[in-house]
Each structure stands twice: as structure tokens, then as C-alpha cells.
């Protein structure tokens, strides 16, 4: 790195804001600072430490003053509409209140336009205030979205709107959304994803196919989309400038092509609604072009860090945006991978024609390794064949789907019929492409994702320490492999010995996950409208809990089995019907679900009795816990975890569990093996209401 001061500043800024954003205690984050001494001198390490403290304190002050609306929640609001775009369950509207606070609300049937001034009746959403493991809490979710509240539009009340001047860029996006409504469902979904950054309209099975192939990132508007259009325009302008008087000027022809192609990148940024990955890529590109004009030989790492610093100083909330994190890490891996390949691998190749495909494969592999922790945090699974699929699929996306979709968007302002014709044709090609899937190989860890991420970071630190030790490379690789295998096996073994009951906080369905050592059992009571919550929240939660196989599943109401069978191996399936009622007990001894009547059930689990009932009968059996299982519980704002021990049970509220850093990072080892945190210890044969 040619400019250590910037590198030191960047590390301090990123670490300080990151730990402040996630409310990590200062003492915990300081445990990792000794690693800095492995890479920097004592003087530089001291500077990093001081700058880190400064940015940690500034970040804490900044993030704490962002939470919630300044005024109390009310029913009627006067709002200025800023952004309108489709969502999974209607239309998503970003609007600004009188006090300049930005809010988001959802409309099912009423149409808004950017620039309108409206008086509306809003109902605060309750779901985002619930606390479930591995999902953002209310405060974090609002920070990610950079808003002060989430609402639903009360469409039963009168809505008054005055037309006004919309924001130019959002007005253009809104017009493209209107154009996309004239397309077929598949063409509309593809157009909105690749041009406007909204993936909600693509069929769910197509999205799952892309996720399983490790190609879901191709749909997200990021540096790749921006690079595709910029690269194509750069080559076109560079070719044509060679036949113009510009060639005789003192300015290099590359600089002219860069400047002429830059508006193409700006188009992607505007169409995406200034999404963080596109914003990071555009600023990186601008800084890169400036470096070419002014400095000529500025290292790409320097440009990446400078771009990240400028964006975080302008908007510190970006540090918690997963898209920004993925984009930054992927770009960092691309730069480092290219440097390693050119300096270490390429010179030793004896077959030059393999140079480009091997380079692409190596860099794609490194990008996957850098982004694994974030990907598994998001989805609970890792597609292992992403590098290979990227190599095969990239030409389709970079030469066909992305550029033609963008061209159709631009053409729609001139000739809508022709733009529709082109987009429908490209949708047919996309349909053919998706029906002939590439390789699919998924890895889901046999323990919770927080433990996997800790294991992954532990391997990363171990690799750094081994790299610093002066021994033969073969010994380093063997030692690293042994450490990886033993640590993974230990985590798997200790997780298999834990037992607990997980009661998530959901709204349209109720569920219990029972973990009996290495076996999992699931009980659900669902409604017809539960599909979205089942697929968006419950199933991902089960994956992140380490569930790969379900020993038994009990559906108290008729439920589409395909949603569960497509994600889990299920040994036994029980539906509530007459033959099942005659059995009275299901699952196995010590893990039993017992039917008492239509509204009353018992769960017996290793000495713990849970009474699930909506009945008001006073003559119910005694149990440690009586839970309103079959009724909506709006008062409960958090998931609960039950850890049965020999003579007592630990009951933990998810919202309180997160306050303890060890509980947060090492669940379920803490509190199963180490009892600490804010929990209730209740001895058996005690009634709790």
C-alpha cells in the first residue's frame, strides 16, 4: 500500500462505525485490536487505536440520535411523496413529514406519484418491532432503511393529494415503473430487477433457482451492472474517437472515452434509485477517472478505501447496509485477487490461452470466500459452485440481459411499442436460460449461523497467524486443515448436544421448533395468508438455526407441504385429522405433542410441560407454562427460547438475550452450557401465565 495514512484512517473509520452501529461494547471490540500489531508498526497501531476510539464515540453519538420519530405517533400525517416502487405486498412509498423525517408506508390499492403532497391516515406496522434471532431489531431496521418509521396506509380513511413537482430522478424512475406495468409478468419482473433494482415481481421459483446457483447477485444493481454499461460505452467511444480530430489532441484517447462513457454509469445510478452498491461503484469510478486524469498510477486499493471513506463520512448509516458491505467486500476481493493472480500465478502458467478463464475463476473464488459470512447471514446457506457458474453465466448477463434491459428502458422514452417488443423477446430468452439451470450445490452448516460465522473468522485469524510463522508452506497448509477440521467437528458435536424449544414471534402463523439433541421437530398452525411470512421469515429462521432435516412435522391446519419439502428433508408428516386424534400422542417419548381437545394441547419435553390453549376452562392440567398458542398475541413482541435442564428450565426473551454480547455471539452454547444473561430460572411443577 503506497499510502499507509489513508489505509490507517480507513481501518479505524470502518471498525469504529461498525462496532458503534451494532452497539458492540467497547471492551469486546478492543479484544481484536491486538491483531493490528501483526500488520503495522507500533506507531501505526497506536494511531489506529486512537482513531478507532474517536470514530467509535462519534458513531455512538450519531446512531443513538437517529432512532424513532421526533414526535409522537399519530393517525393523520401530511407527507411529501419522494419515491414510489412495487413491493411484495403492494406499493412501497417513501415520504417526508413536515419535520423533515423520512418514513415508509405500504399501499395496497391506492396509487401515489412522486412530488405529491398528501394528507393520509397511517397505521404503524407492528411486525418490524418484533424480535427474532438472526433478524434486525426495530432500531437496526430503521437505520438500514434510513427512515424513522414503518406504516401501512389506512385506505378506509379519506386521502387528499395535491399535485406537485416531483424530484427529477424519481419522476424518471416512476415513469419506468409505469412502463413496466405494460409488460408480461416475467418481462416486468426482469425489467424491474435489472433496471430499477426491485426484485419483488420475479416469480419466487426463479429467484430460488438463482440463489441456489449462487447467481442471485446478478439481479442486484451493483458495480457489475454499472461496469457492464460503462465498459460497453467506453469501447464504443474509444473506437469512434480514433477516427475524429480528438486523436490529434494532447489528451489521451482513453481519457476522452472515460469521460464520454461516464454518463452511462450515471444512468444506472439514477435508474436504481441511488442504491448503496451502485452509489459505491459510481463514486469509485469517478475517483478512478480523476486519478487517471491527475495522477495516472494510483493503486486501486487506495481508490477503493478513499471511496468508502467519502461515502461513510457523508452517510455513516451505510456501514450497516448489507448491500454496501457485500459490494465493498466483493470489490476488495476483486482487486486483491487480480493482484495475487498477476504477481503469483500468471507468471508460472505454461499455457497462456488458459490465463483469462483461470483468472476469472480464481477471482470469483476469492470473492466468494470474502462474502461467505454475509451470504450465510442473509440466507442461511452457501452455494458452493458460484465461481464456476459465474464463469458460465456472466456472458449471458453482461452481453444480453443487462445491456438490453437498460437499452429497452432508454428506448421506452422514445418508442414504447418497440421497447415492449424487445423486452418481451429478452424475457423469453431469460425463461429458456432459467429452465436450463446450471450447477447447484448448497452447503448449510449443521449448527446456527452465528457459530459458523465465528468459526469462519477464527479460521481467518488462524490463517493470518500461520502465514506469519516461518515454516514450510506444506506444514502451514496441513496445520490449517487440522485446525479447520477439529474446530468444525467440536462445534458440530457441542451443538448436537444442546436441547431447546424455540417459539418465534410471528403474526399470521404460530410455530414451535423443538431441538432434541441432534433431532428437530416442528409444530405449526397457519392461515391461508401465511405464505409470505412462512417463506420470508419462518423458513429462513429454521435454516439459520441449523435445521437441515426435520424428524417430524405437525401441521395443525392444512398447509402447502412443498414450501417445507423444498428446503428440508422431513421423515414424518402429521396432519390434524380424525385418525391422528385417536393417537392422542405423536413424536416420541420425552418429546410428545398431546391432544386434549380442539383448543387445548400439551408439549412434553424432557420434564417440561407446555400447555397450549385458547380455552378459558378453569380445569386445565397443571403445567410450567400456559401459552396462548392458537390466538394472535399482539402483546408479545419477542421470540422466546426454553432450555430444559435437569430440575429447572431457563426461559429467555429474545429481546433481552441480545443485550448480552456472549449470548448474542455464542447462542445456544450461552446459556445452555454457560448460564449468563437476563433469563428466568423456573423449577418444574411451577405454573406460569
Q: Let me know if residue 92 belongs to a domain.
A: yes
The distance of Cα 211 from the centroid of its chain, to the nearest Å, equals 12
Do both 193 and 260 map to the same domain? yes
Q: pLDDT digits over 320-339, tens only?
A: 888 888 888 888 888 888 88
Q: How many domains does the chain have?
A: 5
- The answer for residues whose C-beta is within 8 angstroms of residue 687's C-beta and 6 or more apart is 622, 623, 624, 626
Q: pLDDT digits over 402-415, tens only?
A: 889 999 999 999 99
Q: pLDDT digits over 258-288, tens only?
A: 888 888 888 888 888 888 888 888 888 888 8
Do both 236 and 292 map to the same domain? yes
Contact 614, 599 (CB under 8 A): yes
Dig out the grid coordinates for 292 from the structure.
487517471
Do both 537 and 638 map to the same domain? yes
pLDDT at 71 over 60: no
pLDDT at 331: 87
Q: Which residues of 448-473 are buried (b: 16+ CB within 10 A; e: fewer)?
A: bbbbbbbbeeeeeeeeeebeeeeeee
Do both 480 and 460 map to the same domain? yes
Do both 473 and 521 map to the same domain? no
Q: Let me know if residue 553 belongs to a domain.
A: yes
Do both 212 and 232 map to the same domain? yes
SS3 track for 550-598: EEEEEECCCCCCHHHHCCCEEEEEEECCHHHHHHCEEEECCEEEEEEEC
pLDDT at 98: 73
* Residue where a domain terminates, one of 118, 142, 166: 166
Do both 579 and 514 map to the same domain? yes
Give dist(CA 147, CA 124) in Å, integer: 13
511 exposed, middle or buried (CB, 10 Å; 0-12, 13-18, 19+)? buried
pLDDT at 687 over 50: no
Do both 676 and 546 map to the same domain? yes
pLDDT at 688: 43
pLDDT mean over 52-73: 76
Give dist(CA 663, CA 595) in Å, integer: 34
Most confident of 24-38, 89-103, 358-372, 401-415: 401-415
632 confidence band (pLDDT: 50, 70, 90): very low
Residue range(s) defining the domain that contains residue 12 = 4-64
Q: Where is pLDDT greater, at 496 or 212?
A: 496
Q: Using omega within 30 degrees of 0 as the cis cutoff, is the peptide bond preceding 671 cis?
A: yes
pLDDT at 3: 46
625 confidence band (pLDDT: 50, 70, 90): low
Q: Let me know if residue 171 belongs to a domain.
A: no
Contact 547, 568 (CB under 8 A): yes
pLDDT at 617 over 60: no
Alpha-carbon separation of residue 134 from 281, 373, 468, 519 (angstroms): 28, 13, 34, 21
Do both 160 and 213 map to the same domain? no
247 exposed, middle or buried (CB, 10 Å; 0-12, 13-18, 19+)? exposed
Please give the mean pLDDT across all residues of the chain: 83
**Domain of 115: which CATH number?**
2.40.50
Q: pLDDT digits over 589-609, tens only?
A: 778 887 777 667 788 887 777
Q: How many CB atoms lie within 10 A of CB 375?
A: 20
Q: Let me know if residue 427 belongs to a domain.
A: yes
Q: Where is pLDDT greater, at 71 or 121?
A: 121
Contact 614, 597 (CB under 8 A): no
Contact 411, 204 (CB under 8 A): no
Q: Let me know if residue 363 belongs to a domain.
A: no
Q: Which of 97-111, 344-358, 516-530, 562-576 has the lowest mean pLDDT?
A: 344-358
Q: Which residues of 190-202 are buried (b: 16+ CB within 10 A; e: fewer)?
A: bbbbbbbbbbebb
Give dist(CA 447, CA 543) in Å, integer: 9
Do both 197 and 306 map to the same domain? yes
With cell 449461523, the residue in question is 449
Do both 203 and 244 map to the same domain? yes
Contact 58, 169 (CB under 8 A): no
pLDDT at 317 over 60: yes
Amino acid at each position: 500500500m503506497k499510502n499507509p495514512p489513508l489505509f490507517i484512517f480507513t481501518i479505524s473509520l470502518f471498525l469504529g462505525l461498525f462496532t458503534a452501529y451494532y452497539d458492540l461494547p467497547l471492551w469486546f471490540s478492543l479484544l481484536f485490536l491486538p491483531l493490528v500489531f501483526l500488520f503495522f508498526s507500533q506507531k501505526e497501531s497506536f494511531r489506529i487505536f486512537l482513531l478507532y476510539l474517536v470514530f467509535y464515540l462519534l458513531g455512538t453519538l450519531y446512531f443513538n440520535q437517529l432512532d424513532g420519530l421526533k414526535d409522537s405517533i399519530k393517525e393523520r400525517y401530511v407527507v411529501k411523496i419522494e419515491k414510489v416502487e412495487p413491493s411484495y405486498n403492494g406499493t412501497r412509498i417513501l415520504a417526508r413529514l413536515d419535520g423533515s423525517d423520512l418514513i415508509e408506508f405500504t399501499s395496497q390499492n391506492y396509487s401515489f406519484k412522486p412530488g405529491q403532497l398528501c394528507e393520509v391516515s397511517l397505521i404503524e406496522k407492528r411486525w418490524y418491532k418484533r424480535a427474532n434471532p438472526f433478524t434486525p431489531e426495530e432500531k437496526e431496521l430503521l437505520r438500514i432503511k434510513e427512515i424513522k418509521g414503518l406504516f401501512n396506509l389506512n385506505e378506509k380513511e379519506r386521502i387528499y393529494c395535491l399535485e406537485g413537482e416531483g424530484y427529477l430522478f424519481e419522476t424518471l424512475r416512476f415513469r419506468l415503473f409505469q412502463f413496466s406495468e405494460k409488460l408480461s409478468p416475467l418481462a416486468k419482473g426482469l425489467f424491474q430487477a435489472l433496471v430499477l433494482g426491485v426484485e419483488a415481481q420475479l416469480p419466487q421459483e426463479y429467484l430460488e433457482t438463482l440463489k441456489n446457483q449462487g447467481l442471485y447477485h446478478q439481479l442486484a444493481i451493483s458495480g457489475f451492472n454499472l461496469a457492464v454499461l460503462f465498459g460497453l460505452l467506453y469501447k464504443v467511444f474509444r473506437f469512434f474517437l480514433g477516427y475524429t480530430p480528438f486523436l490529434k489532441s494532447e489528451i489521451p484517447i482513453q481519457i476522452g472515452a472515460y469521460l464520454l462513457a461516464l454518463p452511462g454509469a450515471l444512468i444506472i445510478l439514477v435508474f436504481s434509485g441511488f442504491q448503496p452498491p451502485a452509489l459505491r461503484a459510481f463514486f469509485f469510478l469517478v475517483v478512478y477517472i480523476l486519478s487517471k486524469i491527475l495522477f495516472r498510477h494510483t493503486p486501486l486499493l487506495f481508490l477503493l478505501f478513499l471511496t468508502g471513506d467519502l461515502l461513510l463520512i457523508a452517510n455513516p448509516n451505510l456501514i450497516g447496509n448489507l448491500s454496501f458491505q457485500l459490494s465493498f467486500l466483493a470489490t476488495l476481493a476483486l482487486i486483491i485477487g487480480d493482484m495475487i493472480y498477476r504477481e503469483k500465478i500468471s507468471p508460472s502458467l505454461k499455457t497462456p490461452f488458459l490465463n483469462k478463464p483461470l483468472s476469472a475463476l480464481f477471482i470469483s473464488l476469492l470473492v466468494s470466500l470474502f462474502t461467505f459470512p454475509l451470504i450465510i447471514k442473509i440466507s442461511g446457506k452457501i452455494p458452493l459452485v458460484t465461481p464456476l457458474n459465474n464463469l458460465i453465466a456472466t456472458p449471458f448477463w453482461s452481453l444480453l440481459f443487462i445491456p438490453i434491459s437498460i437499452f429497452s428502458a432508454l428506448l421506452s422514452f422514445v418508442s414504447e411499442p418497440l421497447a415492449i417488443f424487445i423486452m418481451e423477446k429478452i424475457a423469453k430468452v431469460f425463461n429458456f436460460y432459467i429452465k436450463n439451470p446450471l450447477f447447484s450445490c448448497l452447503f448449510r452448516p449443521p449448527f446456527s449461523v452465528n457459530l459458523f460465522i465465528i468459526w469462519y473468522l477464527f479460521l481467518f485469524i488462524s490463517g493470518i497467524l500461520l502465514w506469519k510463522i516461518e515454516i514450510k508452506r506444506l506444514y502451514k497448509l496441513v496445520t490449517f486443515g487440522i485446525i479447520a477440521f477439529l474446530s468444525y467437528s467440536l462445534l458440530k458435536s457441542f451443538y448436537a448436544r444442546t436441547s431447546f424449544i424455540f417459539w418465534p414471534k410471528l403474526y399470521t402463523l404460530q410455530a414451535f421448533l423443538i431441538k432434541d439433541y441432534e433431532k428437530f421437530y416442528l409444530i405449526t398452525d397457519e392461515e391461508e395468508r401465511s405464505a409470505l411470512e412462512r417463506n420470508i421469515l419462518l423458513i429462513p429462521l429454521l435454516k439459520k438455526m441449523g435445521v437441515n432435516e426435520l424428524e417430524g412435522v405437525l401441521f395443525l391446519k392444512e398447509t402447502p407441504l412443498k414450501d417445507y419439502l423444498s428446503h428440508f428433508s422431513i421423515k414424518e408428516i402429521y396432519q390434524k385429522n380424525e385418525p391422528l386424534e385417536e393417537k392422542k400422542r405423536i413424536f416420541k417419548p420425552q418429546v410428545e405433542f398431546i391432544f386434549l381437545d380442539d383448543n387445548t394441547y400439551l408439549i412434553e419435553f424432557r420434564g417440561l410441560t407446555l400447555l397450549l390453549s385458547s380455552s378459558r376452562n378453569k380445569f386445565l392440567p397443571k403445567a410450567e407454562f400456559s401459552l396462548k398458542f392458537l390466538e394472535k398475541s399482539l402483546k408479545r413482541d419477542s421470540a422466546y427460547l426454553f432450555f430444559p435442564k435437569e430440575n429447572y428450565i431457563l426461559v429467555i426473551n429474545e429481546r433481552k438475550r441480545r443485550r448480552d454480547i456472549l449470548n448474542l455471539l455464542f447462542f445456544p452454547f450461552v446459556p445452555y452450557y454457560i448460564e449468563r444473561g437476563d433469563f428466568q430460572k423456573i423449577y418444574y411443577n411451577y405454573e406460569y401465565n
